[in-house]
A and B are shown apart, each in its own frame.
Chain A
Amino acid sequence: MIRIDAVTKRYDDGTVAVDRLSLDIPDRAITVLVGPSGCGKTTTLRMINRMVEPTEGGIFLDGADIRRQPVDSLRRSMGYVIQNAGLFQHRTILDNIATVPRLLGWSKQRARGRAAELMERVGLDAALARRYPYQLSGGQQQRVGVARALAADPPVLLMDEPFSAVDPMVRKGLQDELLRIQAELGKTIVFVTHDIDEAVKLGTMVAVLREGGRLAQFAPPVELLSAPADAFVEDFLGADRGIRRLSFFPSAGLPLETAPLVPLDADAERLAAGADAPYLLVTDADGRPLGWAEPGRPLERDRLLDHGRPFRPGTDSLRSALDGAVLSPTGWAVAVDGEGRALGVVSQRVIGDAIRAAHGRAGADAGAVR
């Protein structure tokens, strides 16, 4: 565990970047530091690998003061990823990734072998190994930055806004990749961002900092969204925190109705069975949804209403289900399995009931924790 204990950082010009900050950063989890620009996130992160020295207080790694350790060996035990990747222009991708193993005295061959392994792990095509950084896109460079940080298999990973310079689609890909890698490797990650959505998505724990480097709240994301500590945190979370919180509730328990499902080639008897439903969900021969039809009329493929975006009850959250219902012209969301076959439909009203029930449970849980 990394323990930040009553740390204050006052720069030479008198700026107090971090003010008596205490945080217990759990092992093998992602801890996100989030807050507005200038609130001391980078400073806090850089104190962990001693790129910045605290003015007061101390930082402890598994109980030992980090100042006890030689600074170079401390840094080599912590991967460090920065915003613009900071790749070495004059080295190939493979040699960029091999940097820390080489610093640790590995042979060139072994270091490169390890680098090649990591390229695969972070989803980089092996064909890129011999290229130079200028030949890569921003997203690829960022992956190289992550691979380079992981090369010597450090237990700790420090990441300072690693994904903020790439476009939203690429960023989402990188975030998913990080979560996947983390599920495999279980590093202790400290992740800095100013994007609350990123914090909520990635963090096991989220520390919200405010100007002047003071801690506003330190909590798991779902608790942050349901019980912001004060107006500052609430404001920082933004207007739609209620909706975003739904991301943490599974859609698995939603009661699905199957009566409105009808195949395109359904006979009159089958159509009559669904006549009570306000709408029928028409599927193809494989059971994939095609669109909505009004009951009591002959089914015509090109006159169906768009069925919106379906959700998958096993993997998607209540937020996806609600989104599907809101986007659907009928107000009903479509549930599909992994192969895209319709499992059933669910109305906004039923989703609303599920949301209220989930809130009730979360409230009870939060109460039990305290």
Chain B
Amino acid sequence: MNVLDLVRAFFGDGAHWHGYDGIPARLAEHVTYSLAALLLAAVIGLPVGLVTGHYGRGGNALALIATAGRALPSFGLLVLMVLWTGLGLVPVMIPLVVLAVPPILVTTYEAVRTLDPSPVDAARGMGMSEARVLFRVEVPVALPLILSGLRTAAVQIISTATIAAYVGLGGLGRYIIDGLYQRDYEKVVGGAALVASLALSTLALFWAAFRLTVSRGVRARA
């Protein structure tokens, strides 16, 4: 049996399509965790990245945080969190958010900091407030990079959210972990295929968001 046969067998089995362990339910769980983690990471990463980028300060501190965040092993952090806080959603969310904040924060900071200074100077010179300068002049031009940071974070979250299964939570990781445990490779491969296609769908979504939100005047140069 090759991988494709396994995938076909997994998706062809009607039993995999309903119930609490069915594909729709697991997919929904996975998407929920991922979205929640991405949202949390964005709520932390975007404002800090925007403000530090706008004022061009704090770059060194950010780089340090980013390196530290990237170096932390998600799984190790998960185990640590479980030991510390017990099973549940919190120990799962923390590693996911810690993983996602650096790409969002650092890309946003760089996106805003490296913008051409002349439009910003012109905007201030015509009497725009700092907030207006940031949101009306800087963000629209920095948007392609900011989106790419969010996209990187989203894909990392989706692939890492499989670890939720380790602490007894659902998500697509269930198939992989249970499959490995049960030596049911059909399940393992099916779960992996689902995670991969979810990641690909996310890329497509970000592409659509890019087309919709980025001005033509900026897109042509990006």
Partners in one complex: yes
* CB–CB A100/B127 < 8 A: yes
A71 contacts chain B at the CB level, 8 A cutoff: yes
Say yes or no for B124: interface residue by CB 8 A criterion. yes
A156-202 with Cβ < 8 A to chain B = 158
* Chain A residues whose C-beta falls within 8 Å of the C-beta of B122 in the assembled complex: 80, 82, 85-87, 145, 148
B119 touches A87 (CB 8 A): yes
Residues on B with C-beta less than 8 A from A85 are 118, 122
| Distance to closest chain B CB from A90 (angstroms) | 4
A89 contacts B218, CB within 8 Å?
yes
Q: Would you call B216 and A132 a contact (CB within 8 A)?
A: yes
User: When the two chains form their complex, are residues A90 and B217 in contact, meaning their CB atoms are under 8 A apart?
Assistant: yes
Q: A217 contacts the other chain (Cβ, under 8 Å)? A: no
In the complex, which range does the number of interface residues on chain B fall in? Answer: 20 to 34
- In the complex, which residues of chain A have a beta carbon less than 8 angstroms from the beta carbon of B218? 89-90
Nearest-neighbour CB distance to chain A for B121, whole angstroms, equals 6
Contacts of B124 in A (CB 8 A): 51, 75
User: Nearest A residue to B220 by beta-carbon distance?
Assistant: A134
Per-residue interface assignment for chain A, residues 70 to 84, with 1 indicating a CB less than 8 Å from any chain B CB and 0 otherwise: 011111100110111
Task: Tell me the residues in window 88-110 of chain A with beta carbons closer than 8 Å to chain B beta carbons.
Answer: 88-92, 99-100, 103
Q: Which residues of A contact B220 (CB under 8 A)?
A: 132, 134
Contact with B along A48-79 (1 / 0, CB 8 A): 01010000000000000000000111111001
Please name all residues of chain A whose beta carbon is closer than 8 Å to the beta carbon of B118 when the two chains form the complex. 82-86
User: How many A residues have CB within 8 A of the partner chain?
Assistant: 31
Bound Cα distance from A71 to B126, whole angstroms: 10
Decide: A89 near B127, CB < 8 A? Known: A83-B118, A134-B221.
Answer: no
1/0 contact string of B202-222 vs chain A (CB within 8 Å): 000000000000111110110
Question: What mask results when residues 120 to 143 of chain B are scored 1 for a CB within 8 Å of chain A, else 0?
Answer: 111111111100000001001100
Which residues of B are found within 8 Å of A76, using beta-carbon distances?
126-127
Minimum C-beta distance from B135 to chain A (A): 12
**Once the chains bind, are A91 and B126 in contact (CB under 8 Å)?**
no
Asked whether B141 lies within 8 Å of A73 as measured between CB atoms, the reply is no
A91 to B123, CA, bound (A): 13
What's the dominant secondary structure at chain B's contact region?
Answer: helix
Q: How far is the CA of A148 from the CA of B122 in the complex (A)?
A: 10
Q: Which chain A residue shows the least CB distance to B222? A: A89
**Nearest CB of B to A309, in Å:** 39
Docked pose: A149 CA to B125 CA in angstroms:
10
Judged by a CB distance under 8 angstroms, whether A133 is at the interface is yes
A74 vs B127: C-alpha distance in the bound complex, in angstroms?
A: 8
Q: Which residues of B contact A145 (CB under 8 A)?
A: 122
The docked-state distance in angstroms from the alpha carbon of A322 to that of B126 is 45
> Are A49 and B221 within 8 A (Cβ)?
no
What residues on B are CB-neighbors of A149 within 8 Å?
126
B contact residues around A86 at 8 Å (CB): 116, 118-123
Contact of A90 with B140 in the complex, beta carbons under 8 Å: yes
Q: Is the CB of A133 within 8 A of B217?
A: yes
Verify A91–B121 contact, CB threshold 8 A: no
A28 to B131, CA, bound (A): 34
Enumerate chain A interface residues (CB-CB to B < 8 A): 49, 51, 71-76, 79-80, 82-92, 99-100, 103, 132-134, 145, 148-149, 158
**CB pairs A–B below 8 angstroms (25 shown):** A51-B121, A51-B125, A71-B127, A72-B127, A72-B129, A75-B124, A75-B125, A75-B127, A76-B127, A79-B126, A80-B122, A85-B118, A86-B116, A86-B118, A86-B121, A88-B137, A89-B140, A89-B215, A89-B218, A90-B140, A92-B217, A100-B127, A132-B217, A149-B126, A158-B125
- Report which B residues bind A (CB closer than 8 A): 116, 118-129, 137, 140-141, 214-218, 220-221
A51-B121, A91-B217 given. 16 additional CB < 8 A pairs? A51-B125, A73-B127, A79-B126, A80-B126, A82-B121, A86-B116, A86-B118, A87-B119, A88-B137, A89-B119, A89-B218, A90-B141, A90-B218, A133-B217, A134-B217, A134-B220
